Structure 1
């Protein structure tokens, strides 16, 4: 009896994997709306509705992120954590983000609230796939000390003024990509897209063992080709 071979996630779709991953990559990489991607694909003779592209992004981004996880470099021992505002369904929500001292995005979390429950959830999620840091830098928000004492009592907590500029300046990258979307509609969608943005950023900065045998300008395209074969 032959062993069962996992079926590709692309089975059953009208378009081949290279077209689907191209649309997803364009949307996550560039400051484009779904209609922009639809127009660019039409120039290549591909008649694909923007709603279909939205569904591809929502379905395949988490799969690509999970496929890339074993290829990611081990995060550094110093974390910089902060939250920024994003608009979802016309209301301001929060996006928790963490980067290490090398600029690798460790994790992201879209949340309706900025409180200890959200911060605890974020750190638990980040720690599930990363080594424990020896130092965590945050702003002076009162939500962090208690959470860090609970989850990372051995880590040094730094909250001095100006010490968190690394992550604060990094917020501009995902925000620039979200600007053309004209507002996200659901928290889940915000989480998916923000995670995809982080994947793109990390691959382009060389924090994954993906696309390493091509020039930097082609690294992202090569990485997505490798990942499409994995899913």
Structure 2
């Protein structure tokens, strides 16, 4: 039997849904902005519907693209930044490699050993054990790296982590128009989706490679819509 598409039962066709999701993840737009852009194209979609599409289909698109993802590099830069959720600041663990591929993202209420372990467990599932890991001076990292990556060289020198700190700023630019995230799950979805889009645009997926770089993201989402 042919498995049913995840788009089955939705009033709008897959092309409209993935377009809305792509716009939201790629550009500094609010859900209401996406609603307005769709209205200009003759499509009446409530901003709450756009929110539901983003929350539902972003993880599905990321999973569908997993076989096409390039293996991360062997030098990792790990750091945490802050995101406000329901009026409270939470931590966002992020890592990039030497080629600026975003390895993974994890939203957490706490900045401790348990959260760092969850993050590294997720990051290591992408198929590469790094030979060098650069972090800030958080006390949890030396103990955790000795446990999970004893052979890796740990760097925590001042300013050694500028690569990931610079990458944080691109995510912050994307989050600025959002009128407050309400749930940690939303923060996880949007930040993971942003990383996913950045990785496609930077050529870290075997998707849309035969198209103009400016059209790579659009071509990739069109391919993925057929696999969801």
TM-score (norm 2): 0.99
What residue is the counterpart of 1:170 in the other structure?
Answer: 167
Q: Is the 8 A contact 2:200 2:216 kept in 1?
A: yes
The structural deviation recorded for 1:5 is 1.3
1:33 alignment partner in structure 2: 30
Is 1:199 aligned to 2:201, yes or no? no
- SS for the counterpart of 1:8 is coil
After superposing on structure 2, the runs of 4+ consecutive aligned residues of structure 1 that deviate more than 3 Å are: none
Equivalence for 1:48? 45
- TM-score (norm: length of structure 1): 0.98
Q: Please tell me whether residue 188 in structure 1 is matched to residue 171 in structure 2.
A: no
Question: Hey, what does 1:91 align to over in structure 2?
Answer: 88
| 1:62-141 aligned within 5 A | 62-141=59-138
Q: Matched residue of 2:172: which SS? A: helix
How many residue pairs get matched?
Answer: 228
Verify: 1:221 aligned to 2:218, yes or no: yes
CA RMSD of aligned residues (A): 0.6
Shift of 1:128: 1.3
Matched, 1:146 2:143: yes
Gaps of 5+ in 2: none
- How far apart, in 2, do the equivalents of 1:75 and 1:126 lie? 9
Following superposition, the deviation at residue 130 of structure 1 comes to 2.7
Q: Tell whether 2:19 aligns with 1:22.
A: yes
Structure 1, unaligned runs of 5 or more: none
Q: Is the 2:131–2:153 contact (alpha carbons within 8 Å) kept by the matching residues of 1?
A: yes
For 1:179, the equivalent position in structure 2 comes to 176
Structure 2 CA distance for aligned equivalents of residues 198 and 130 of structure 1: 18
Contact preservation (8 Å) 2:72, 2:126: no
Deviations 1:47-70 (A, max 9, x none): 000000000000000000011111
Does the residue aligned with 1:18 lie in a helix, a strand or coil?
helix
1:11 maps to which of 8, 18, 23: 8
SS state at 2:4 partner:
coil
Conservation of the 8 A alpha-carbon contact between 2:71 and 2:126 = no
How big is the shift at 1:143? 1.4
Following the alignment from structure 2 to structure 1, what is the Cα–Cα distance between the partners of residues 136 and 190?
Answer: 25
